Chain A
Amino acid sequence: MTWELDGNTFESHLLLGTARYPSLTTMSDAITASDTEIITVSLRRESSNGQFGEAFWNHIKQHDVHILPNTAGCMSAKEAITTALMAREVFDTHWIKLEVIGNDHTLQPNPFELVSAAEELSRQGFAVFPYTTDDLIVCEKLMEVGCHVLMPWGAPIGSGKGLMNPYALRTLRSHFPNVPLIVDAGIGAPSHACQAMELGFDGILLNTAVAQANDPVAMAAAFKHAIEAGRTGYQAGILPEQDFAQASTPELGKPFWHE
Chain B
Amino acid sequence: MIRIVFNGVEHQLSETITLSTLTEKFAPKEQKFAVAVNEQFVPKSLYEETSVQDGDTIELLTPMVGG
Contact = CB atoms under 8 A, between A and B. Distances in A.
B67 A20 contact: yes
Interface in A3-51: 17-21, 27, 40-46, 51
18 contacts: A21-B65, A40-B67, A44-B64, A51-B64, A52-B63, A52-B64, A54-B28, A54-B31, A57-B63, A69-B66, A70-B66, A82-B36, A82-B40, A82-B41, A90-B33, A90-B34, A90-B61, A207-B67
B61 A45 contact: yes
A53 interface: yes
Contact of A45 (B44, B60, B65): B60
Contact of B66 (A40, A45, A82): A40
Given A46-B60, A89-B44, A18 B65 contact: yes
Nearest to B39: A82
B32 interface: yes
Interface residues of A, number: 37
B4 to A, nearest CB: 15
Contacts of B62: 43-46, 52-53, 90
B39 A78 contact: yes
Interface string B21-46: 00000001011111110011101100
- Interface majority SS (helix, strand, loop, mixed), chain A: mixed
Contacts of B30: 54
A143 interface: no
Nearest to B43: A89
B61 A56 contact: no
A91 B32 CA distance: 8
Given A60-B63, A86-B36, 4 more contacts: A42-B63, A42-B64, A53-B62, A86-B41
A45 B6 CA distance: 10
Interface in A56-106: 56-57, 60, 69-70, 72, 78-79, 82-83, 85-87, 89-91
A67 to B, nearest CB: 9
A123 to B, nearest CB: 15
B16 interface: no
B41 A45 contact: no
Contact of B65 (A19, A78, A157, A158): A19
A51 to B, nearest CB: 5
A200 to B, nearest CB: 24
Contacts of A57: 31-32, 63
Given A82-B36, A90-B33, A51 B65 contact: yes
Contacts of B28: 46, 53-54
Q: Which of B36, B39, B44, B66 has the most CB of A within 10 A?
A: B66
B63 A56 contact: yes
A22 to B, nearest CB: 12
Given A82-B39, A89-B43, A19 B61 contact: no
